[in-house]
Amino acid sequence: MRNLPVCACLTPAAEGKRDSIISIVASANQTSLLTRLFQDRPVLCDGAMGTVLYGRGVFINRCYDELNLSDPTLILAIQEEYLQSGAEILETNTFGANRFRLERHGLRDKVAEINSAGVRIAREAIGHFREKQAAEAWVAGAIGPLGVRLEPLGKVALSEAREAFAEQIQALFSAGVDLLIVETMPAVNEAREALLAAKEIAPDLPITVMMTVDEEGRCLDGTSPEQAAAILTEAGADAVGCNCSTGPATVLTAIEAMRSATHLPLMAMPNAGMPRAVEGRNIYLCSPEYMASFARKAVKAGTQFVGGCCGTTPNHIRAMKSALRALDAQAHITLSEPTHAEKSPEMGSDTPPLPLAQRSTVGRLIAEGKFVSLVEIVPPRGIDSSKEIEGARLLAALGVDAINVPDSPRASARMSAQSLCIQIQQHTGIETVLHYTCRDRNILSIQSDLLGASSLGLKNILCLTGDPPKLGNYPDATAVFDVDAIGLVNIVRRLNHGLDIGSNAIGGSTNFTIGVAANPGVPDIEQELRRFAWKVDAGAEYAITQPVFDLRLLERFLKRIESFRIPVIAGIWPLTSLRNAEFMRNDLRVSMPEAVMLRMAQAESPEAAKAEGIRIAQEMLAEARPMVQGVQVSAPFGRYALAAEILESVLPQAAHAQKTGA
């Protein structure tokens, strides 16, 4: 949906003169294509489309791009106003006309039609303008972000993103745009995919890319403006810059930083400040005069292309035009070649983690090929963790290698897993494995939590997507899921190299041992295998399976992952009753062989059922042990001695668990 007003910009190829433009490109030598075409002079772009549409009564739940088809006269009128105000670059109304955004409105099959119509309307507006003013203007194909999160932090592959961008760009190119503008890009990896798609589809068109930044002047993926400029310059952009963001001051700071990192022309198209709620409506309060002042400052800072984004109107563009006239439209903008150091802005220093064997006890055992024993201790529902700490003390005395602490399993409200991990380590000395889910945290919180966990001495992270809130006792709670387990592994791996997700140094490696989950019994095993391979590729170093009751599924899973195998630790769950077995099979969808169900059904008393559950778990451990590198045993209802009894074969001291008590 193009409810964000867009900025326009770039440099052109006049209608009917494409061949001559291409010849100019060929002779441009070291001079930028955009700079050569506009002779190093300031160029004014247009302003917001969404803001003006909203002001004319088009509600934001409409697909603004679709108006190219249903109300082309309205779009034409707005674009003619921008031309009359002095804009030389006119963007097509196609900011959100990609397959992902259009699909939300049931318009997935209209990508080509909507983009082609957008070019046709803009071309018609310029035709009318030429007849009245005898002046030139150019059509820029507007390409906004896809509106989905890309790998490594999302589920959409970079190849899928490039394919979506290519589909839109092909339609714009075929319809005859003069140049392409990739704008409001939140992350450098998405901007780069759009740029590469444009270069493949339309190598002879000028291609410009603008990032958006936050209040601190960084791209929304944490990348600095100078890093973004350097990356996009290397990838082949004809101009780079910043648009949208939090207003003129922030954009101007970002542009000044970009100037040191690239020799390309710069573009700056800020919002008219941050919106403010006024009588129930969001209003942009930056005046046309303030935007005119910004235009003067931006040009003096080395910007060649200026315009407006959200909140700007033809009145703002008219004021900016007057400001540019006052600066002398023919003044030469110095675009000096940056020094070598400026071309390669220093990114965060990569600090590789310690070897796996030196990071943690779990890491050492995995690296040495030794069998790992883990027991799961679930955090309490209240503030008293004395039972859990005593259970960990018992297990530590028996020789268990580490304690696994789930993160609000089944979306239940419990003491934080991180808090219990710290208490267990402080009171008992045994190492813990922190389960960490993506359900409740955004990317900022994830990084903050993990930095804090490392500083407090937590060494092992199990990266999980997390159960959705609807499974828990607060089904209306809001989930975040900024990333899934794959994206989380990527974040932890970067922290292990001393970098946050924006490649900023954090002062050293977090040195986590990175684990992930695997489910050999999931119905869609092909999807599970694909996701497991992605986890391994992202940096997973070992895996813990869901509870195993059917060894055939485990064997098949291990065989299927041979080409991307990492150490696997099998999950073991001691059943306590037939009802428990039924819950596992029907509610949790765990594969439960009929033979196991029959054995639990034949138990004559609760005590007999618990004893049978222990025997089944011991058999699972004995049979699985040759196939895996460790075992994680759950302790249902806090029965830690029961877990120790199951581990009797791998822990010599475990035979004494019943005598010790828990």
Q: Are residues 401 and 478 in the same domain?
A: yes
Mean pLDDT, the chain, integer: 86
Q: Are residues 334 and 362 in the same domain?
A: no
Q: Residue 470's pLDDT is what?
A: 65
Q: Which of 385-399, 460-474, 531-545 has the lowest mean pLDDT?
A: 460-474
Could you tell me the two tokens for 407? Answer: 């993160």
Q: Which of 130-139, 154-163, 313-322, 592-601 has the lowest mean pLDDT?
A: 130-139
Rounded average pLDDT over 435-464:
93
Q: Is 326 exposed, middle or buried (0-12, 13-18, 19+ CB in 10 A)?
A: exposed
Question: Is residue 1 included in any domain, yes or no?
Answer: no
- 469, pLDDT greater than 90: no
Q: Are 25 and 33 within 8 A, CB to CB?
A: yes
Q: Are 272 and 284 within 8 A, CB to CB?
A: yes
Between 637 and 191, residue with greater pLDDT: 191
Q: Which of 54-58, 222-226, 565-569 has the lowest mean pLDDT?
A: 54-58
Residue 557 domain boundaries: 356-574+628-650
Confidence band for 612, pLDDT divided at 50, 70 and 90: very high
Q: Residue 92's pLDDT is what?
A: 98
Q: Are residues 301 and 266 in the same domain?
A: yes
Confidence band for 651, pLDDT divided at 50, 70 and 90: confident
Q: Are residues 287 and 398 in the same domain?
A: no
Rounded average pLDDT over 315-332:
76
Give dist(CA 368, CA 374) in Å, integer: 17
Give dist(CA 548, CA 572) in Å, integer: 6
- 430, pLDDT greater than 60: yes
- 350, pLDDT greater than 50: yes
Q: Are residues 60 and 201 in the same domain?
A: yes
- 27, pLDDT greater than 50: no
Q: Are residues 306 and 166 in the same domain?
A: yes
- 19, pLDDT greater than 50: no
Question: Is residue 98 included in any domain, yes or no?
Answer: yes
Q: Which of 304, 338, 372 is a domain's end point?
A: 338
Strands 630-634 and 542-547 turn out to be unpaired
Rounded average pLDDT over 562-568:
95
pLDDT digits (tens, 9 = 90+) for 115-163: 999 999 999 999 988 877 766 889 999 999 999 999 888 889 999 999 9
Confidence band for 49, pLDDT divided at 50, 70 and 90: very high
In CATH, what number is assigned to the domain containing residue 534? 3.20.20.220
**HEC letters along 498-525:** CECCCCCECCCCCCCEEEEEECCCCCCH
In CATH, what number is assigned to the domain containing residue 113? 3.20.20.330
Specify the number of domains making up the chain. Answer: 2
Q: Are residues 405 and 262 in the same domain?
A: no
Question: Is residue 579 included in any domain, yes or no?
Answer: no
pLDDT digits (tens, 9 = 90+) for 279-290: 455 566 688 888
Confidence band for 446, pLDDT divided at 50, 70 and 90: very high
Cβ count near 424 (within 10 Å): 25
Question: Helix, strand, or coil here: 347?
Answer: coil
Q: Which of 338, 370, 404 is a domain's end point?
A: 338
Q: Are residues 531 and 424 in the same domain?
A: yes
Given strand 43-44, what is the order of strands in its sheet? 43-44, 305-306, 266-270, 239-244, 207-211, 179-185, 138-143, 89-91
Q: Are residues 305 and 370 in the same domain?
A: no
Give dist(CA 211, CA 220) in Å, integer: 9
Question: Is residue 619 included in any domain, yes or no?
Answer: no
Q: Which of 338, 371, 405 is a domain's end point?
A: 338
pLDDT > 70: percent of the chain: 86
Q: Please tell me the pTM assigned to this model.
A: 0.69
Q: Residue 330's pLDDT is what?
A: 41
Q: Are residues 326 and 371 in the same domain?
A: no
Q: Are residues 298 and 237 in the same domain?
A: yes
- Partnered with residue 244 across adjacent β-strands are 270
- 20, pLDDT greater than 60: no
